[in-house]
């Protein structure tokens, strides 16, 4: 069984007024350990697809099965719990909590999971070291560069031991050096630890390092290439 199985997924916004078909029958399978980019022009449906895989948006028809669990049938607290324990998210806008330090941002999800303090502290510091921020643990987001904030976001995404990480335009606000550093970190995590990454991007720098490129246009997959 594939890690992620997407079958005949459609998404229609405003179905009762002026319908907008964002996704039109998507079929995809993503295996554990992939480093995959979903690409396409603005409005193609790539971010909608990523959000539906992550349970952040509801599909209209079809199904999303993750490790044998049909998340399209989950609602309310069950869906929240599934996301919290299985999926790591990295967003274009970082989405760090401004009043928390780098360490507190990373460990926050483990607090929600009830992870004991000693284990929480060790994993947080290990993750921040892995993304090269051992000297920034007590800094708040406003004291960090964009690239550093995004590295905190990657560490946070990994804190819950997720089955996979979804990254929506993770390099959009970064300069070339920060982008290279971030991509190298994620590539190392993928190759050394087998962490699965699925990106939504139009950044050629991300596309160049991805091993599978899924192109979406007008809500449909028009090509699926493995390098």
CA–CA distance, 73 with 58 (Å, rounded to integer)? 10
Residue 220 binned pLDDT confidence (cut-offs 50, 70, 90): very high
Task: Tell me: pLDDT of 143 over 90.
Answer: yes
Task: Tell me: pLDDT of 15 over 90.
Answer: no
CATH of the domain at 38: 3.40.50.300
Residue 16 binned pLDDT confidence (cut-offs 50, 70, 90): confident
Average pLDDT on 121-138 reads 96
pTM: 0.93
Buried/exposed 107-143: b ≥16 CB within 10 Å, e otherwise: bbbbeeeebeeeebeebbbebbebbebeebbebbbee
CA–CA distance, 31 with 65 (Å, rounded to integer)? 12
Task: Tell me: pLDDT of 61 over 90.
Answer: yes
For residue 204, what are the domain limits? 4-226
CA–CA distance, 109 with 73 (Å, rounded to integer)? 24
Average pLDDT on 4-30 reads 95
Task: Tell me: pLDDT of 1 over 90.
Answer: no
Give the chain's radius of gyration (CA, Å).
Answer: 17
Average pLDDT on 97-122 reads 95
Number of domains in the chain: 1
For 160-214, the pLDDT digits (tens) are 999 999 999 999 889 999 999 999 999 999 999 999 999 999 999 999 999 999 9
């Amino acid at each position: 069984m594939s890690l992620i199985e997407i079958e005949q997924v459609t998404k229609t916004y405003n179905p009762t007024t002026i319908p907008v078909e964002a996704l039109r029958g998507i079929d995809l399978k993503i295996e554990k350990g992939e480093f995959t980019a979903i690409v396409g022009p603005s409005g193609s449906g790539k971010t909608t697809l990523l959000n539906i895989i992550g349970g952040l948006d509801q599909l209209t028809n079809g199904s999303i099965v993750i490790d044998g669990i049909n998340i399209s049938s989950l609602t309310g607290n069950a869906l929240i719990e599934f996301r919290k324990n299985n999926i790591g998210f990295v967003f274009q806008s970082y989405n760090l909590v401004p009043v928390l330090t780098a360490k507190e941002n990373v460990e926050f999800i483990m607090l929600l999971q009830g992870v004991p303090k000693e284990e929480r502290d060790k994993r947080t510091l290990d993750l921040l070291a892995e993304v090269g921020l051992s000297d920034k643990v007590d800094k708040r987001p406003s004291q960090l560069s964009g690239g550093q904030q995004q590295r905190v976001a990657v560490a946070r995404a990994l804190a819950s031991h997720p089955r996979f990480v979804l990254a929506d335009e993770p390099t959009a606000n970064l300069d070339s050096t920060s982008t290279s550093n971030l991509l190298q970190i994620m590539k190392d995590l993928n190759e050394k630890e087998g962490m699965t990454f699925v990106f939504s991007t139009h950044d050629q720098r991300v596309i160049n390092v991805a091993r599978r490129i899924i192109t979406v246009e007008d809500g449909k997959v028009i090509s699926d290439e493995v390098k």
